[in-house]
Amino acid sequence: MNKRLPSILLLACWPTWVLAADLSDLRADSASLDGKTGETLYRGNAILSQDNVRISADEMQALQNEDGGLKSGRFRGEPAVFEHTDPITGAKSEARAREIVYDTGTGRIELLGGASLVQNDSKLNRQLRLLADHIQLTQTGEQLNDLSATGNPALFSRLEENAAPVEGQANQLSYLGSKEQLFLEGNAKLLQGTTTIEHVVIEYDGLRKLITTPKRDGHQVKITRAQANAAATKPEPITTEPNHAVQKKEPL
């Protein structure tokens, strides 16, 4: 991804103020640059559009490196919007929050306050949705990979062709995109088809379509099944034994 922003020292105060040789790179109603810190502040209808990323916000703070490239940015709005297109799979993601923090060096993207994420993959006919107080994403190269979220609760859903919808909620949630593994912890609940599972910890393997509830002392698993109609999809296998194939990672 080309993360370069132009080096410029000025204050502009007229509508649709534009930066860069490519007019689609960055524009805002006004902007100012601190020559000592390298931080630029953009206000009013600010839009950053480069390669496979587009960010729109009411206010943007951008810190540049010595080469003039974007080192990090903080974007605020009601909401600020981060749009990403995967250059390999073509999957489109749209993230919204009152504040978005983007560090290009580490690939960390944080969504703070009223955070949401929607990802549509037309090749797999799959949609992922996430609502939370705080969401953290990881960008590797030009691809979005793992994510973690916290909320009261954080809500997750997965819709896929020829499979029963999966909906989950927990105080803490993480999803390993490359392995399609979902981890729910703290007042966890997962609904798959007509089956609802409640436990302290729930793990879902999207590749194997397997739900696992590891043993936790002092807590028992609660499983309920609603009456299925003729069109309902057969529930996926459930086991209350630890899933050794799924290795939980620390929050990102």
201-212 confidence digits (pLDDT tens): 999 998 898 999
Is the residue at 151 inside a domain? yes
Length of the chain: 252
In a domain, 27, yes or no: yes
DSSP 80-116: EEEEEE-TTT--EEEEEEEEEEEETTTTEEEEEEEEE
Provide the domain limits for residue 127. 11-239
Is 34 domain-assigned? yes
Q: What pLDDT is stored for residue 153 in this prediction?
A: 96
pTM over 0.85? The answer is no
Residue 200 has pLDDT above 90, yes or no: yes
Answer for the pair 176, 169: CB distance below 8 angstroms, yes or no: no
Q: What DSSP element (H or E) covers 8?
A: none
Structural domain total, the chain? 1
Specify the pLDDT at position 26. 77
249 belongs to a structural domain: no
Asked if 102 and 3 count as a contact pair (C-beta separation under 8 A), the reply is: no
Residue 219 has pLDDT above 50, yes or no: yes
Q: How far is CA 104 from CA 70, 92, 95, 196, 208, in A?
A: 7, 19, 16, 39, 33
Asked if residue 204 belongs to a domain, the reply is yes
What are the pLDDT digits (tens) for 68-120?
666 789 999 999 999 999 988 899 999 999 999 998 888 899 999 999 999 99
Q: How far is CA 173 from CA 36, 53, 154, 227, 239, in A?
A: 40, 25, 7, 28, 20
> Is 130 within the bounds of a domain?
yes
* pLDDT of 8 strictly over 70: no
Model pLDDT, residue 110: 97
CATH of the domain at 44: 2.60.450.10
Tokens standing for 49?
Answer: 């559009």
pLDDT of residue 20: 34
Residue 194 resides in a domain: yes
On whether residue 225 sits in a domain, the answer given is yes
Q: Are 83 and 50 in contact (CB under 8 A)?
A: no
Give tens-digit pLDDT for 43-63: 999 998 877 889 999 999 988
